[in-house]
A and B are shown apart, each in its own frame.
Chain A
Amino acid sequence: MMLLVDWSAPHRPALLTDEGQSLTYGQLRAEVSRCSKFLPPKRLIFLAGRNDVPTTVTYLACLETGIVPLLLGPDISSTAFSRLLDTYQPAYVFLPTTLAINYPDFETIQINGEYSLCRYRYGVGPDLHPDLALLLATSGSTGSPKLVRLSHTNILSNARSIVTYLGIDQHERAVTSLPFNYSYGMSVLNSHLNAGASILLTNRTFFDPLFWSRMKSSEATSLAGVPYSYEMLLKLRFERMDLPALRTLTQAGGKLPVAQTERVFDICQSKGIRFFTMYGQTEASPRIAYLQPEYLRAKFGSIGRAVPGGTLWLENSKGHRIEQPDQIGELIYSGPNVALGYALSHKDLILGDIWQGVLRTGDLARQDADGFFFVEGRSSRFLKIFGVRLSLDAVEAWYAERGITAAAYGHDDHLQVMIEATQSCPQDDAVNQLAATMQIHPSALTVSAMPVLPRMNSGKVDYSFLNSNH
């Protein structure tokens, strides 16, 4: 049994919904044990849900009974979902009832709101390592079969670190401004339940008037956002909003430009709101570093220092630890929240702790003389598009499958693709199809063509040339 949730105050509110429904910790616990009866321990389940009561209850029932969920969004394409089913062969799926009919190999055993819990008719799924508690996708978008394997210790230790450094107590109330299956969204849920605080469950966006009216009427005290969320908040003139209960803003999921960090910080100062900029990776369950608001002005652009219980350092390309300040090296993290490792298929779910608590982040960073870390770039081939990690290699592979040579590059929130073609005008259809497959907005994507891609002597595509010239 996992000790993620603080059940000690049964009369305190746990979950509030958009529709005005509310569940105390006592009621939530009863719902969770009812749901647990349908779930035998140590089996694999796919959990495709949203920020709502049935999904949250099922998620907690999984953690409590030791059934291992892979968290997915309900808008995952049927192609991606089927590919994951083939690769991992779960014993159960929990998904919107409207989608359940597409999977006749699964029989419905329980209906909960708009969701169905279904059992595989022909088997009990793969064997799982005793320490495995939860699986998260490495890339929310492509339905890539590469998953991160997390243990109970990973989840619990990270929830506790977050509770400690954000100072979350039972009076806090977070609003779910991110999807629950995104590691940052999951950590908001975990940390608040661990502190006995409450959560306003909503799937509404910042552009829905009801998001703001519910947030105000239910007196939400904290809001989490990726850089793009802050761009929206500034566009909406956050400085003019009247949300007297709001006390904390957190930001992660990519680097917020310094100019915007300053603006948000100034607004927060004037409203008495604490603003935490943070850094993490799904592979660390996910929080790695945070910057305390009191250091923000002196250290704009910094990711701060390691979360409680963790250690951060830098290594040069030879693998030696960098001791002098302001030298750039790869950011390495060690802590109890570092995942067990990756899984590429169901066979890997029996594996134990491969990473042994050490994570190479793939980010290049420096540390200043005061000990604060600054991310300077990425050594691995990923972009963050509106907070979600996108693999540039996956984009190139998508083109390769269609017989097209392409180079993917760009910066966070904008993917550029250069295809090797003589026609100067790529087809809109292909652009929209790529955007749909990668689940990114078409406006975050530019596709151009050139007759021959620039290459270095080694034959590798010269991405730095493309980045500076196109």
Chain B
Amino acid sequence: MTNMEKYNKVFIESFSVTEDVLNENFTYQCVAAWDSVGHMGMIAALEDAFGIMMETEDIIEFGSYTIGIEKLKKYGVEM
């Protein structure tokens, strides 16, 4: 699986959404499942999927699907 596929899979499973909604408009709290509870679960799933440990500011600034791609670069995860 490519990094992009892994990344999308985490979103699809964490928020029960389909792949076609994953774009720059998919942001924190845009769906009911992406609340603070969903956010914690998604971060944990990304950390597991990529074997990384994210910093506080990256967790709280992770405000959208697109921002997340940028954030993960810092941890050596290229999409």
Residues of A whose CB lies within 8 Å of any CB of B are: 205-209, 211-212, 228, 231-232, 235-237, 240-241, 386, 428, 432, 436, 441-444
Residues of B within 8 A of A228 (CB): 37
Does B18 sit within 8 A of A, measured CB to CB?
Answer: no
Q: Contacts A235-B43, A432-B16, A436-B32 known; A206 to B37 CB distance under 8 Å?
A: no
| Nearest-Cβ distance from residue A458 to partner chain B, whole angstroms | 37
| Nearest-Cβ distance from residue A236 to partner chain B, whole angstroms | 5
Are A237 and B41 within 8 A (Cβ)? Answer: no
Q: Which of B33-76 contact A (CB under 8 A)?
A: 33, 35-41, 43-44, 55-57, 59-63
- C-alpha spacing A209/B39, complex, angstroms: 13
Q: Which residue of chain B lies nearest to A440 when distances are taken between CB atoms in the complex?
A: B37
Residues of B within 8 A of A205 (CB): 35-36, 39
Are B33 and A207 within 8 A (Cβ)? Answer: no
Does B28 sit within 8 A of A, measured CB to CB?
Answer: yes
User: How many residues from B make CB contacts under 8 Å with A?
Assistant: 22
- C-alpha spacing A206/B39, complex, angstroms: 10
Label chain B's interface by main secondary structure.
Answer: helix
- C-alpha spacing A241/B16, complex, angstroms: 32
Are A441 and B33 within 8 A (Cβ)? Answer: yes
Residues of B within 8 A of A432 (CB): 16
> Which one of B14, B36, B63 has the greatest number of beta carbons of chain A within 10 Å?
B36
Are B16 and A428 within 8 A (Cβ)? Answer: yes
B37 in complex: contacting residue of A237, A436, A443, CB < 8 Å: A443
- C-alpha spacing A432/B16, complex, angstroms: 9
Q: Which residue of chain B lies nearest to A235 when distances are taken between CB atoms in the complex?
A: B40
Are B59 and A208 within 8 A (Cβ)? Answer: no
Residues of B within 8 A of A237 (CB): 55-56
| Nearest-Cβ distance from residue B40 to partner chain A, whole angstroms | 6
Q: Which of B13-30 contact A (CB under 8 A)?
A: 14, 16, 28
Q: Contacts A208-B28, A436-B32 known; A240 to B56 CB distance under 8 Å?
A: yes
Q: Contacts A236-B59, A240-B56, A443-B41 known; A207 to B32 CB distance under 8 Å?
A: no
| Nearest-Cβ distance from residue B26 to partner chain A, whole angstroms | 15
Q: List 29 A-B contacts (CB under 8 A).
A: A205-B35, A205-B36, A206-B36, A207-B28, A207-B40, A207-B59, A207-B60, A207-B62, A208-B28, A231-B40, A232-B36, A232-B40, A235-B43, A236-B56, A236-B59, A236-B60, A237-B55, A240-B56, A241-B56, A386-B37, A428-B16, A432-B16, A436-B32, A441-B33, A441-B35, A441-B38, A442-B16, A442-B33, A443-B37
- C-alpha spacing A276/B35, complex, angstroms: 27
The 3 closest A-B pairs by CB, nearest first: A441-B37, A205-B36, A207-B39
Are A207 and B56 within 8 A (Cβ)? Answer: no
Residues of A within 8 A of B40 (CB): 207, 231-232, 235
Q: Which residue of chain A lies nearest to B32 when distances are taken between CB atoms in the complex?
A: A436
Q: Contacts A235-B43, A237-B56, A240-B56 known; A207 to B16 CB distance under 8 Å?
A: no
| Nearest-Cβ distance from residue B33 to partner chain A, whole angstroms | 6
> Which one of B28, B35, B40 has the greatest number of beta carbons of chain A within 10 Å?
B40
| Nearest-Cβ distance from residue A141 to partner chain B, whole angstroms | 13
> Which one of A208, A231, A386, A444 has the greatest number of beta carbons of chain B within 10 Å?
A208
- C-alpha spacing A441/B56, complex, angstroms: 23
| Nearest-Cβ distance from residue B43 to partner chain A, whole angstroms | 7
Residues of B within 8 A of A441 (CB): 33, 35, 37-38
